[in-house]
Structure 1
């Protein structure tokens, strides 16, 4: 679970939007900021973060050219709705937010390159988790070995070309992540997922991380996977429809994300997440 979160004596609330900021940014952007900040906290909660590195970005409703990104220099447990930085798709600063830290050029290049080329993706999530790095360094192609593979869809790969921070690096990256893929292995680097929403990108990352962990746990980093252990492609494709049937009326990733967000609210972190009525009911009931 959380390595630092449970030890913090000072609660850093996630939804720190003031009335002045609500007027400045508007309700839609403020709500998006709260959800994105919650995603950063949950990334730490699940032990996927890497010091101050990695990024989750999302488009701002009503202005698809503007993206929210974390300040470079703060820990994921310090990310709040107000200190997220607003940049445009060219990687230029639009609004500094409440933090005095800058945004990282590498993150801006990676995310703006993909956001520009993939208008279907509202959110991108890039992490350096230990099993993810191991798989990105040692595995040529991810094979269907567990049920979580069903959720990954078409997997794309991008070869390591050095640290990405120049505009010249954008085209090769964007070409290697074509639609409809929402899962990208950045070789010798880490993992990246995308989704129409923050919740979908986060959920994709959960399943991708699960597959990578399985590779590590089963020793498939060093040895080939026996053919008899692979999931049949026909079964894999038919399982996608089964998962969709089990989703009730929520969008991809929402049920899972809400369940995790409630854990943060129980600890007094005040996510500000716009819960469904079912989640509001159980949250209110459990906090009485």
Structure 2
């Protein structure tokens, strides 16, 4: 639109821009999304205030009404005029149709304890991932995360809310018995029958921070097999030993809770519930999602081979299983970064989390799709500008001028360039061998009743120096 007024971009001397880039790297992705949204709204507002846009819009409406055509394609034409395009090949829809994961803004974040907002955003993002993968089964599935080790508080999804509706603020805080401590932003309660299983595992295993109950058709089918999950693929091995339990529903009796803890064991992280799917646990949210993903893939692989019979299947030997399991718990080996070539190995080990690299990649995918996860990246993806070609102005004058002289001399020797004036090269290189001296001196101001000392650069000629 010709009538749109674009504001002038403020210029910078380079230092402010560098500080701004550093601040951009440190701020979370949801703030970047807010900035982009503000810029988009400014652009839309400028277009809507344009006289040419209003006239064109009125012309389209009058044409539609005269021709007797409805307003079905009106929004599409407006979108074309404003330059808004649809990404039909993307799995996700436009970000305007996505409920943001991190809906905790401004002063609201001060009402949460330290680290609670980050944990809420991360857990709510897991609900979205499971929904996008197609592993959600209505409103009956539950995911819990241990919030406080001392007070034994947990975050759980509201009973009746679909996984794609779960946000950071809608999660409910409960205690070990399922009693609501904080309601969240919904009017829904907690499925106590389903939480009893989670509570029993959390009580027996303090090392477990996140529990995900998944019962997709493939996982339910494998849980119904007497042979259980077989070590047929890499995915079936990296989750470790798999336990099984005859689950009959809510765990209200102390004997049933003890039986669940005994069947899970002291170190296992995956528990198959006979005919009812699996419970995948983790010491972190990343590890719990890592176990869920590999459990689902392992069950799907086993179902593809079940028709040939167990006797015809080639199981992984114990040695190979141990190597794959240990390799999955080590930091991935990659080339060192150019800006940090000497990172100590123990620092990498300390920062490493099982499934952390893949989880960060999935968070980037959600943020790029407009979900606004609020996730704080350990290794942010910095989309830097292309390297700029070196400019002679940025080089020291002596180097640039000397290179020019050498190049000119070589061209003159080869006869490719005829020297027109013998003073030309002398004028450019005269300052290289100049005996003059430049120095800084402090002098008093002139023309003021209260003179102050100022620094002035003056040059002393060779004759004066002598």
TM-score by length of 1: 0.89
CA separation in 2, counterparts of 1:172 and 1:8? 46
Q: Which has the larger radius of gyration?
A: 2
| Correspondence 1:47 to 2:47 | no
Note if contact 2:94-2:369 (Cα within 8 Å) is conserved in structure 1: no
**1:1-288 mapped onto 2 (5 Å cutoff):** 6=93, 10-61=97-148, 63=150, 65-161=152-248, 163-164=249-250, 166-168=252-254, 169-218=256-305, 220=306, 224-226=309-311, 229-247=314-332, 249=348, 250-276=352-378, 278-281=379-382
Segments of structure 2 that go 5 or more residues without pairing to the other structure are 1-90, 334-347, 386-466
Name the SS of the counterpart of 2:221 in structure 1.
Answer: helix
Cα separation, partners in 2 of 1:126 and 1:64, compared to 1, 3 Å = farther
TM superposition shift of 1:197: 0.5
**Larger RCO (CA under 8 A, 6+ residues apart):** 1
Of residues 189-198 and 235-244 in structure 1, the stretch that sits farther from structure 2 once superposed is 235-244
Whether the 8 Å CA contact 2:328–2:354 is kept in 1: the answer is no
What does residue 412 of structure 2 align with? none
Residues 173 and 229 from structure 1, CA distance in 2 versus in 1: closer, same or farther, beyond 3 angstroms?
Answer: same
Q: Distance in 1 between matches of 2:206 and 2:193?
A: 20
| Rounded Cα–Cα distance in structure 1 between residues aligned with 2:94 and 2:377 | 27
**What is the CA distance between 1:148 and its match in structure 2?**
1.2
Give the TM-score of the pair, scaled to structure 2. 0.56
Q: Tell me the matched-pair count.
A: 277
2-side partners of 1:268 and 1:204: how far apart?
26
When residues 60 and 273 of structure 1 are mapped into structure 2, their CA distance, relative to the original with a 3 A threshold, is same
State which drifts further: 231-240 or 6-15: 6-15
Q: Could you say what secondary structure the match of 1:80 adopts?
A: coil
Q: Distance in 2 between matches of 1:203 and 1:116?
A: 22
Distance 2:220 2:95 in 1: 28
Structure 1 contact 16–82 (Cα < 8 Å) conserved: yes
In 1, the alpha carbon distance for the partners of 2:225 and 2:266 equals 25
Deviation, structure 1 residue 70:
0.3
Q: Relative to structure 1, is the Cα distance of residues 165 and 245 closer, same or farther in structure 2, using a 3 angstrom cutoff? A: closer
Decide whether aligned partners of structure 1 residues 151 and 105 sit closer, same or farther in structure 2, where only a CA change above 3 A counts: same
Farther off after superposition, 169-178 or 45-54? 169-178
User: Aligned-pair distance for 1:23?
Assistant: 1.4
8 Å contact from structure 2 (residues 144, 211) kept in 1: yes
Shift of 1:19: 3.0
- What runs of 5+ residues in structure 1 fail to find an aligned partner? none
Structure 1 residue matching 2:310: 3-state secondary structure: coil
The root-mean-square deviation of aligned C-alpha atoms, in Å, is 2.2
Distance 1:138 1:32, change over 3 A: same
CA contact (8 A) 2:287 2:354 kept: yes
Show CA shifts across 1:47-101 (max 9, x none). 1110112111111146450000000101100000000001111221111111111
Residue 7 to residue 266, structure 1, CA distance change in 2 (3 Å)? closer
